[in-house]
Structure 1
Amino acid sequence: MEKSSSTVEKYQLGFLVSTFAFNLTNLLVFTPMTIDMMKQRHKVERQNNIGDGVGKLVGPRIRTNHGSHANIFSFGSLAMHSWYLAGKMNL
C-alpha cells in the first residue's frame, strides 16, 4: 500500500522549494545586478569627486534592485516551514 503525502506536507515542500528558488534567483540574478550597479555608482562618484559622505549620491537606480524582495519572500517561506515544524513538537 502506497502512502501519499498529506496536503500540509505538500505545502511544506512548496515552501522549501520556494525558498530554494528565491535564494537561487537572488544569487544568480540580483546579486550580479547589485554589484554592477555599485561599480557604476562608485565610478560616477569618483568622476564627480563626490560620495565621501553618506547619502551624497542616491539616485532612482538604487531603487531598481529587487534582491531584498527575494530575501523577504525566502524568509517568509522559511518562517512558515518553521511554524509547521514547531507545531509538531511535543513539549
Structure 2
Amino acid sequence: MTVRYTKNFLDKLENLFASSEYILRYEKGNFKSGYCILKENKIVIINKYYTLDGKINTLIDIIKKIGFNVNDFSDKKIQDLISELQQTELKL
C-alpha cells in the first residue's frame, strides 16, 4: 500500500482509533510520539506539533506495534485498512 500524506488519510487513521478501544489524543510538548496505557485506559498520545507526514507515519507505526486484530472491527473498510497497513513498510 502506498501511504498518502493527506488530511483525508489522517482522518481514516483517526477513525480507526475511534472504532477501537484506544483513545487518540493530540497534546503539545517535547516528547516522542507513541502509545501508552494509563490506569488501565489505552491512550495514544501524538505530539500536536508534528507535521501531517509525521502524524501519519507515527500512527501507522503505532498501529503495527499494537497489532489490531482485523476481526475486532465490524466495518469492512476498517478491516481492509488494517490489513493493508500491517503490510506497509515505511521508508523514511
Same fold flag (TM > 0.5):
no
Larger Rg: 1
TM-score normalised per structure 2: 0.24
Larger relative contact order (Cα-Cα within 8 Å, sequence gap ≥ 6): 1
TM-score normalised per structure 1: 0.24
More strand as a share of residues: 2
